[in-house]
A and B are shown apart, each in its own frame.
Chain A
């Protein structure tokens, strides 16, 4: 495309059927004990 650059073509929708295993880290266990940022956690399945 000339006018638009897409940074990621994956779609959250696909994770609806594949996700939910519950193995990933609880967000407050990483560095942050006060402000929740869930989207910066890693997916255990993609490791």
Chain B
């Protein structure tokens, strides 16, 4: 059914037409007319609003809304209900856990400080090669494949990473494919030699730091309790400097301990890091650092502060890119991608040091979610089928949500951890996501002036 989302933020009245994806900025008259547009005739609307606004303005605003409706850019029909989502068993992306061990003991680590509820272990070369063979043999006609070296801390297994990149490139070339490699690291073991290798071979680099020294060191510390900020900052600076125009992100996590996380994001921006992602912690709700529903108003204010600063800095020629405000209103992903979502358990899987396959990195270590092994292939088809069926058009909560084509149903793991069901939603996460989308749209409107 047709659906719009009306919201005002700072100086702007905005409307998203959900099914078309069109975004409009309205003046006050049009905003008021829209309140009555579907329930009243034009004459009735004039009657209601004529004491407040000029009749000519009311009429014109009404006609403009009508034009948008006729162009299917407002109250547009829902074309997507019976969409054919052709899951064909193709896997195109691997999260490769080359080390289930870590040199840090971060308090909020969902991977049990690296071990993922299992033994501390690093991946051997044979298993890594098996994972790449598995990826290529399951990638069907996809040309663009992805491998993210992840952990634990992947740099505890540097030699294997180098060998697997060479092997992956060789195998991809033989198959007329291309593998984009990403490394996600806490930066502690970065050295000049490995930085050169990263720059040559990695499509993307994700460097973990949470923000200010106080924020970072409260959660990200070594086995002896010492913080990491002073150790990692010079390494991250050097890595970013060397990346030049190549893709990278500095990436942090905010928790209930630093609900003023806009200060952390801006601290990272002030350090000269232009690509920043700081996102809410995934945590058991009983942890004292877990985000609670009562924190949402504070978090919304923080996103608003960030959005204002984003625009301000952009306009004075000192921009930064905040991952969750990225939104391409004209050439973003197709609606099929938006419905299918993150691809966990379907086109994206995680592989452990033992070669076991899980739907994504967040499910690693939960035995019921193990779906196979790189040697034997996918065996737990029942679980895979559950993930295939899990999309934004199937989730009852999502069907009626205006943000469904932006978050695409959200993270399956967050849903599972909050309610034991991948087909549900993580409500606190939903509210934060909706606020980020509104801020992103407001930024677009502000920068279009």
Contact = CB atoms under 8 A, between A and B. Distances in A.
A40 B60 CA distance: 34
Contacts of A20: 86, 334, 336-337
Contact of A22 (B80, B324, B347): B347
Given A11-B76, A35-B433, A39-B327, A3 B57 contact: yes
B168 interface: no
Interface stretch (B89-97, B213-221, B234-242, B375-383): B89-97
Given A33-B251, A41-B337, 5 more contacts: A3-B61, A7-B22, A12-B335, A36-B341, A39-B332
A30 B249 contact: yes
B433 A26 contact: no
Given A6-B68, A23-B144, A31-B275, A38 B407 contact: yes
Contacts of B331: 10, 42-43, 46
Contact of B335 (A1, A6, A16, A46): A16
B330 A10 contact: yes
Residue of A15, A31, A40 with most partner-chain B CB within 10 A: A31
B330 to A, nearest CB: 5
Contact of A30 (B29, B323, B343, B405): B323
B326 A40 contact: yes
A41 B29 contact: no
Given A22-B142, A39-B406, A40-B323, A4 B64 contact: yes
Shortest 3 CB-CB distances between A and B: which pairs? A19-B334, A15-B334, A31-B249
Contacts, number: 224
A27 B333 CA distance: 11
B282 A34 contact: yes
Contacts of A6: 22-25, 68, 73
A34 B417 CA distance: 12
A1 to B, nearest CB: 5
Contact of A43 (B21, B95, B332, B411): B332
A32 B277 contact: yes
A33 B67 CA distance: 42
A1 B64 contact: yes
A27 B429 CA distance: 16
Contacts of B367: none
B360 interface: yes
Contacts of B142: 22-23
A26 B342 contact: yes
B445 to A, nearest CB: 6
A2 B64 contact: yes
Contacts of A1: 64, 67
A13 B72 contact: yes
